[in-house]
Structure formats: C-alpha cells, structure tokens
C-alpha cells in the first residue's frame, strides 16, 4: 500500500468502481407496505383519491372489499374512500414479511410475493 495520498485515492476510486451485487437487495415487503400507506395518506391530504370505478375502468382489479364497497356505494365521496385504511390486510402487511393474505388484487399481498 502506498503512503502517497494520491495513490490512496486511486485505490479507493477503484474500490468504488467494483461492481455492486448482481441482484439488488429486495426491499422488505413491510417497508413497501408502509411506503404505500404513507403515499396514499399524502395523496389524501390534497383531496380525494381516484374513485374505485375509475380505478377499475383503468384496468386495475379491485380486491374483494373494494369490489363490495364499489357495488354498495354510489356517491363519489364514498367511492374515493380508502378501504385499505380500515383493512386488517394492511396492518398485517406492515408488520409481517409474508402476511397471510390470500385474496387477489390486494397490493399489500402483492408486496409479500417473492
């Protein structure tokens, strides 16, 4: 190892150029769940979410609870309601890496899928 600082610099510059791990580390699904929750909360601060009907029309599937909610409500305000805020699936996903959520179209369940 050379005592010349410039050579020291060169060595560390080479170290920094070493390839990163081939596979990027996956973010824990708990973190993804928390990210989604905080983003949706932020979105709600500036007005209602897109309605469930619009979301469905946009090609996204609704989960069993959203589907039910969409069928039984008609007012636009109600249609923008964030069902996940009351859903136990969200709570489970924010605390467990592989939460036992088995119904489809739940984004929290999708985060836990490897």
Partner 1 sequence: MVRPGDEGERNAKSDYINQMSQGPQEAYEAQESSAGVNQLADQDLVAEVLRKDRKATAEFVARCADHVYAYVRRRLIPRTDLVDDLVQEVFLAAWENLDKFRGDSPLRSWLLGIARHKVEDHYRKRLRELPFRDEGEDSSEEPASSLDLEETLAKRQAGQRTREILKMLPEKYALILLWRYWEKRSLRDIAVQIGRTEKSVERLLARARQQFKKRWNEQQS
Q: Which residues would be at the binding site for partner 1 (CB under 8 A)?
A: 1-5, 8-9, 11-16, 18-21, 24-28, 31-32, 34-36, 38-40, 42-44, 47-50, 53-61, 70-71, 82, 84, 102-105, 107, 109-111, 113
Question: N- to C-terminal Cα distance for the chain?
Answer: 44
Q: Are 37 and 94 in contact (CB under 8 A)?
A: yes
Give the nearest distance from C-beta 38 to partner 1 in angstroms: 6
Query: Which CB sits closer to partner 1, 88 or 102?
Result: 102
DSSP annotation of 75 reads S
Give the nearest distance from C-beta 92 to partner 1 in angstroms: 14
Distance CA(37)–CA(4), nearest Å, equals: 51
């Amino acid at each position: 190892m050379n005592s010349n600082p410039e050579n020291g610099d060169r060595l560390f510059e080479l170290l920094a150029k070493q390839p990163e791990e081939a596979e990027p580390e996956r973010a824990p699904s708990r973190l993804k769940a928390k990210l989604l929750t905080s983003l949706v909360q932020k979105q709600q601060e500036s007005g209602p979410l897109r309605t469930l009907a619009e979301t469905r029309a946009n090609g996204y599937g609704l989960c069993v609870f959203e589907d039910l909610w969409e069928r039984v409500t008609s007012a636009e305000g109600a249609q923008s309601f964030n069902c996940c805020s009351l859903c136990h699936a969200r709570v489970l996903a924010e605390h467990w890496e592989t939460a036992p959520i088995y119904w489809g179209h739940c984004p929290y369940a999708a985060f836990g899928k490897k």
